Amino acid sequence: MFVFLNNFVLNAQTGCTLVTAYGDTTICSSATIQLNATPGFLSYQWSPSTGLSNDTVQDPVATVTGPVNYVLTATGYGPNLFANPDFSLGNVGFTSGYTYSTSYSYGNYYVNNLFFTSFFSEVIDHTPTADGYFMSVDGATTSKDLWEQTVSVTPGEDYFFEFWASRANVTQPTFEIHFIGDVTGDVIMSTVTGLPYGGTPLWVWDPYGTTVWNATANTSLTVRVRTISTFTAGSDFGLDDFTLKPLCTVTDTVTIQTGSITASINGPSVICSGTTTSLRAVGGQLFNWSTGDTTAVISVSPLTSTTYSVTVIDTGGCYDTAYFFIDVLPPPAVTITGDTAICFGGSTVLTASGGTSFLWNTGAITNTVSVSPATDTIFSVIVYDTSGCSNSTTQTVSVFPLPVVVGDSLICYGSTLTLTVDHGISFAWNTGSVNDSINVSPTTSTTYFVIVTSAFGCIDSIIKTVTVVPIPVVTLTGDTLICLGQSTVLSASGGSGFLWNTGESTTSINVTPVQETTYTVIVQNSFGCTDSLSKTITVAGTEDAVISGDNSICPNETIVLTATGGTIFLWNNGESTQTISISIDSSSTFSVVVIDAGICYDTARFSVEVENCDVLLTMPNIFTPNGDGINDNFIPVSLQNIDHANLIIYNRWGQQLANITNLLAGWDGRSNESECADGTYYWTLSYTDKYGVSNNMAGFLTLKK
């Protein structure tokens, strides 16, 4: 026998779950209240029972008419005192008279998640844990202690006991449960017979030996489970989840109170029209305003005198209604008097009325303010009456412009300037003109004077001095004749700003014209006066040097070469004419230097090939078309300077066998795709050489394969 013992000592009340009772509230009068408590206890007892729908359930309904305290007493479990009650630690924490073995035999047991017999192949652990361990048993043939464990207990405490079993065969075992106290001794608590047989796929687990035991004077308890049946066959069963827990008694209280509330509203009772104020309700937790708002504080902006109401509700359902009257005062009637139009540089006095204190947008706090705006300006004032209510108004003061002379103060020498008066209807110039505009062309600095009256009645005298400034003296340097492909630099002077017709704005530009081109520059001085100057550049050597003539001749023939692209010609043979005649007997290269306008030159080169002009055409007298790649075709032995040819083959009877125009391919010894026999054949050949001369040839040939 293997013995594994773990004693677990715990005060019966230690670790007991506390109970919480729910339903604390405050009511205004009679009310129906749902009570509730922490679930999972064995029993509940509410006291007093007056007004309760049921005083022994977890969640009774209480009907109350006044303050009351309900005390809940609940009975529950403490922690399990058994060590390894679900066998998750294996074969430890208990003792057994059975033999621990993996062998399937009477009186053996095994702790694992699988049984050693096929009867347990589908048994699933009763405890919902990952290991799935339980105690599988093959019943003994004699009565024997099956499971035993000793724990410490507290005298006088109640304990709850049970275990779970599942049968895997038809024979019904009988369990005898012993409680052995260190004071009371061995007491048989119960004898259980007839486990129900489980079906597939899972065997049925059921609780056994369920009882409540009082420790009386005992301080330790040994629980022993025996099998007292005699098994001869089919005695397989499983055990799991042994429980011994102290019974705990815990209490909690629900307090129900009664009460009442008084609603009130705080806020100003008098406001000015167009303003917003806040109203605050007190006396509860929920608020229903006549405005539809549901918060304690609301903002209101009444246009006329208004009464507001709020119903205040507390958490117990008590409510009260309060009313609040707000008197809305009208705003003061504000006006502004004074001139609304002035000439530029003038002023006006604006006067506000309608109240006792004033604030202008100029910062002034008097009822009158003197203003001299330079442009059209809006002036505003806020006026307060004796009640503190305010109103505002605005007044626009229009500013009429004084006449002005429009025109430049500087004029370039030789130019004309127009002076024009704006915003006037009558004019008197010191030139004698009475028009709004005069054209002037002073040669020296001159002062002009005009007296003007505007359409708004504004009169002003205007002096305009026109200063005459000189125009720049422009110079332009650079070449006026260049060769094609050459560049030249054009430089301008006489001012501080430059603009060329090329788009450039520098003092100097680098140009490379390909034909005669005119370049213009506009020069500006520091006063903005301008003048322009142009320069034309002529481009010489615009034609390339070229030599024309035949590029091939026969030996000692004369060839004519002609040069173009200029007016002066210097040949490499010493001649200086545009055209030269030469006779050569070998290939040569000629060159000429061509000069244009006396400054630009170019060189041309021309190669003349001296060719072999002999005409050669020689035919063989035998060929062997046997497919060996040697002498397979009847073709010329020599061929030179032949342009066109026609070869005709005849047999000995004069019949035409082939007509060939490609001498290089020749005759392959076939006629109409058929091979010709060995023998002698006749051929004729007509041809034209590269010089246009036509000739004929004829002869015999031997075909031998």
Whole-angstrom distance, CA of residue 209 vs CA of residue 146: 14
Burial of 559-596, coded b for 16+ CB within 10 Å and e otherwise, reads bebebebbeebebeeebeebebebeeeeeeebbbbbbb
**For the whole model, what pTM was predicted?**
0.38
Q: Are residue 620 and residue 605 in the same domain, yes or no?
A: no
User: Does 581 share its domain with 665?
Assistant: no
Same domain, 343 and 465: no
Residue-level pLDDT at 24 = 63
Closest CA to 35 of 213, 252, 209, 210: 252
Question: What's the count of helices (H) and strands (E) in the chain, helices before strands?
Answer: 0, 61
All residues at 6 or more sequence positions from 363 whose CB lies less than 8 Å from its CB, including other chains: none
For residues 478 and 366, give the distance between their C-alpha atoms in angstroms, rounded to a whole number. Answer: 79
Do residues 104 and 213 both lie within one domain?
yes
* CA separation for the pair 365, 358 (Å, rounded): 5
Structurally, the chain folds into a number of domains equal to 7
Residue 432 CB neighbour total at 10 angstroms: 7
Residues spanned by the domain of 427: 404-469
Same domain? 241 vs 363: no
Return d(Cα 398, Cα 375) in angstroms, integer. Answer: 7
Q: Which pLDDT value is given to residue 9?
A: 26
Residues 369 and 412 placed together within one structural domain of the fold: no
SS3 507: coil
Domain shared by 135 and 240, yes or no = yes
Non-local (6+) Cβ contacts of 104 within 8 A are 116, 117, 138
400, 435, 452: which is the final residue of a domain?
Answer: 400
CATH number, domain of 554, equals 2.60.40.10
Query: Final residue of a domain: which of 400, 432, 455?
Result: 400
Q: What is the pLDDT of residue 207?
A: 87
Name residues whose C-beta falls within 8 Å of residue 301's C-beta, 6 or more positions apart in sequence: 274, 275, 276, 277
Residue 48 lies in a domain: no
Quick check: bond before 39 cis, omega within 30?
no
Do 409 and 395 fall into the same domain? no
Distance in angstroms (rounded) separating the CA atoms of residues 331 and 388: 9
Asked if the structure places residue 161 within a domain, the reply is yes
Pair 558, 598 in one domain:
yes
Domain boundary among 193, 211, 246: 246
How far apart CA 81 and CA 71 sit, in angstroms, is: 30
> Residue 170 in 3-state DSSP?
coil
* Alpha-carbon separation of residue 654 from 614, 647, 680, 682, 687 (angstroms): 33, 15, 12, 8, 21
pLDDT < 50 positions in the chain: 1-14, 198-201
Task: Answer yes or no: do 680 and 559 share one domain.
Answer: no
Same domain, 659 and 595: no
Asked if the structure places residue 457 within a domain, the reply is yes
Nearest Cα neighbor of 243 from 166, 180, 162, 164 is 162
> Of how many residues is the chain composed?
705
The continuous run of DSSP H or E covering 703 comes out as strand 694-703
Residue keyed to tokens 């040697």: 630
**Residue (of 239, 102, 231, 98) closest to 172 by Cα position:** 231
Rounded CA gap, 283 and 260, in Å? 9
Q: Are 219 and 104 members of one domain?
A: yes
d(CA 352, CA 333): 10
- Specify if 541 maps to a domain: no
Whether 253 is in a domain gets the answer: no
CA distances from 585 to 299, 555, 558 (A): 123, 4, 10
CATH number at residue 140: 2.60.120.200
DSSP, res 203:
P
For the beta sheet containing 600-610, the strands, ordered from the edge strand earlier in sequence to the opposite edge, are 552-553, 600-610, 588-596, 568-571
In Å, how far from its chain's centre is CA 63?
62
Give the contacts of 459 (CB within 8 A, at least 6 positions apart): 451, 452, 453
DSSP tag of 121: T
- What one-letter code names the amino acid at 369? V
CA angle 367, 372, 374 (to 5 degrees): 140
Q: How far is CA 550 from CA 558, 586, 602, in A?
A: 10, 14, 21
- Residue 43, in any domain of the structure: no
